[in-house]
A and B are shown apart, each in its own frame.
Chain A
Amino acid sequence: MMLKAFVPRSSLRSISRPLGGSTSAFRHTPSSFFLIESSRLRRGYATETEEKDLIVIGGGVAGYVAAIKAGQEGLKVACIEKRGSLGGTCLNVGCIPSKSLLNNSHLYHQILHDTKNRGIDVKEVSLNLQQMMKAKDTSVQGLTKGVEFLFKKNNVEYFKGTGAFVDPHTVAVNLVGGGETSVRGKNIFIATGSEATPFPGLEIDEKKVITSTGAIALEQVPKKMVVIGGGIIGLEMASVWSRLGSEVTIVEFLGQIGGPGMDADISKNIQKTLQKQGLKFKLNTKVTNGDASGEGVKISTEAAKGGKEEVLDADVVLVAIGRRPYTAGLGLENIGIETDTRGRLVIDSEYRTGPHAHIRVIGDCTFGPMLAHKAEEEAVAAVEFLTKSYGHVNYNAIPSVMYTHPEVAWVGQNEAELKAQGVKYKVGTFPFTANSRAKTNLDTDGLVKFLADAETDRILGVHIVGPNAGEMIAEGTLALEYGASTEDVGRTSHAHPTLAEAFKEAAMATYGKAIHY
């Protein structure tokens, strides 16, 4: 027993080597069996800097979806998020809280103004803004905690902290709770998202001069509100505060509202409806200056082509002129990844960055529309490039939705784009005034519009303004994705009485005639 302890174990084992070897004519090599390089002595104990298969910087929609998908595919994955809760802009200060406010403010507005003719007498309706905000916060918390649960379920390691590149494979994490650590990854996804573009000359304080983040957290209803930018975010927030009692004016530089992509007919239609609801529009108008030094804010405007000047007074000004990629503090200078003129990280068709093919970029901080569902698609595709070496996102079939009332939704191309491309197309429309369900709901504003190839009847774009447009566009997106013709949709049975029948009839109106109009 004692003797064994003095005999090196390896020599014992060398004795038990297969005998055949010693008698054979094996090629002689100096036996390195006893002279082992030190690297071979290292055993695979887990260390602090365990190398992950994938590190995702950012726990927003792009980041958390990528992390969960990678976890499901069996990759060792870590996700770094500095906000303290997952879900990014969308869940915390964007899509989700704004939908809560839009839905509840719509209910309030409807109870105030649209009950008598429905046979409901309501007395003493009052707004409890604090409770409305609490309802919003509860929804948000439920969803962000849900994502955290999904991380645990799918073995995603979650770092609460700010990630910054040290070198192309190492990310230092400045932890929210204090301290610092670092992670190494074979692959790294940048999914740091975007932030509201500030308006030059107006300092954002989120009280008087606000972005969408402040607009979902105002403590009282402002008497007068000016919204700079008539895009989707601006119009949604304008709707919320207008319904709650604000006098809202929207200033838009361009000649139409709704932002890029919205069809001109649809834009005109929704503008009329929103005007009926009390929103004021100043189109083709440029904001030249803002002064927030007094009690309120003074906004100087002039006609976009020069000329008529006007000063607008407001208690609160919402800056909603767009969003820009957020990559500050990421240490991009340490790894030499380039951005384009608008701050977007430059990638190729497989989301890889130029200098480092193992670093991919998804979501708002790179090309394409800044939409949560686009980010989600990219997250799945980017992970599939790692695991299956093939992924795909169809950028021609990404729907856009504006959650005003009525909602606006579209997918594919609009008339202006088709005209610019010289494509021959046909148009079919169907108004909700001719739809039975919309009639019974007393909610008949809007229409469905199809654009299809003149020759093949293939659907090129679907544009809807009307009740439930955001849900209805899913059918249009599916049709577009599958290369359907309007006749395919028109010959598909749609339940009666539903709003979706308007969709079918608009398709029928494109290749033939609608029955009910």
Chain B
Amino acid sequence: MQATRRLLQHRQPMIKFLGKRTPPANVDHSPHAHPASPTHSLPDSFATYRQKAQQHGPLTQSTNFHSGAIGGHSGHSLGSIRPGKGEVFDRSDLPARFRRTPWTQAEIEAIESGGASMFA
């Protein structure tokens, strides 16, 4: 430690140890000109793309998401997800994708016949 301090008194290397690389906390993904681009500018297509592009809603939407629909509110602002007192949720209340996939008649027959119906 002392030795390092003494050494650095004389000369501080310009090389900086960068350490383990971690992605920056906030990455701005909006289109910027490519560093090797000869014009250092982007054509209009990039802006028009973002105008019409959809990703969890329009890309260009302002920060005000409260449009009235339930999707316009943050989950936090809607309160607890637990059922109220005396209230119980049923699986059939869930959106379709969370329910069990029902058996088709063909599958039922295949299982019941030990697979024979698949070749009948």
A binding-site residues for B, Cβ under 8 Å: 4-5, 8-10, 13, 17-18, 20-21, 24-27, 29, 31-34, 36-37, 40-41, 43, 336, 338, 340, 346-352, 354-357, 366-369, 388-390, 393, 395, 456-458, 479, 482-485, 487-488, 491
Contact = CB atoms under 8 A, between A and B. Distances in A.
Main secondary structure of the interface of B (DSSP, over half): loop
Contacts of B42: 346, 348, 354
Contacts of A456: 14
A456 B14 CA distance: 9
A482 B88 contact: no
Interface of B: 11, 13-16, 18, 23-24, 27, 29, 31-39, 42-43, 45-46, 48-49, 53, 86-93, 96-97, 99-105, 108-109, 112
Nearest to A21: B90
> Max chain A CB contacts within 10 Å: which of B37, B104, B112?
B37
B14 to A, nearest CB: 4
Nearest to B52: A355
Contact of B53 (A29, A43, A357): A357
A10 B102 contact: yes
A389 B49 CA distance: 19
A367 B49 CA distance: 20
B35 A349 contact: yes
Given A20-B88, A483-B15, A484-B14, 9 more contacts: A26-B88, A27-B93, A36-B102, A40-B97, A43-B101, A350-B31, A354-B46, A369-B36, A482-B15
B31 A349 contact: yes
B31 A5 contact: no
A367 B99 CA distance: 49
Contacts of B48: 354
15 contacts: A4-B112, A9-B108, A24-B90, A27-B93, A37-B96, A41-B104, A340-B38, A346-B43, A349-B31, A349-B33, A366-B34, A388-B23, A393-B35, A483-B16, A485-B13
Contacts of A17: 90-92
A279 B87 CA distance: 92
A349 B36 CA distance: 9
B96 A395 contact: no
Contacts of A354: 31, 42-43, 45-46, 48-49
A25 B87 contact: yes
A390 B38 CA distance: 23
B23 A355 contact: no
B89 to A, nearest CB: 6
Contacts, number: 132
Contacts of A340: 38-39
A18 B100 CA distance: 14
> Max chain B CB contacts within 10 Å: which of A348, A356, A456, A488?
A348
B38 A367 contact: yes
A390 B27 contact: yes
Nearest to A4: B112
A347 B108 contact: no
A491 B15 CA distance: 12
A18 B48 CA distance: 52
Contacts of A36: 96, 102
B14 A367 contact: no
A369 B64 CA distance: 43
Nearest to B101: A40
A335 to B, nearest CB: 12
Sorted from nearest, which 8 A-B pairs have the closest CB atoms? Answer: A354-B45, A368-B36, A390-B23, A24-B88, A21-B90, A348-B31, A367-B36, A485-B14
B23 A389 contact: yes
Nearest to A39: B96
A395 B35 contact: yes
> Max chain A CB contacts within 10 Å: which of B24, B35, B39, B48?
B35
Contacts of A41: 101-102, 104
Nearest to A361: B34
A36 B96 CA distance: 8
Given A32-B92, A395-B36, A482-B15, A26 B109 contact: no
Nearest to A457: B14
Nearest to A368: B36
Given A348-B42, A350-B29, A367 B34 contact: yes
B91 to A, nearest CB: 7
A348 B14 contact: no
A186 to B, nearest CB: 13
Contacts of A357: 49, 53
Contacts of B105: 8
B87 A488 contact: no
Contacts of B87: 24-26
Contact of A32 (B46, B96, B109): B96
B36 A26 contact: no
A229 to B, nearest CB: 20
Contact of B15 (A356, A366, A393, A484): A484
A340 B101 CA distance: 51
A93 B16 CA distance: 40
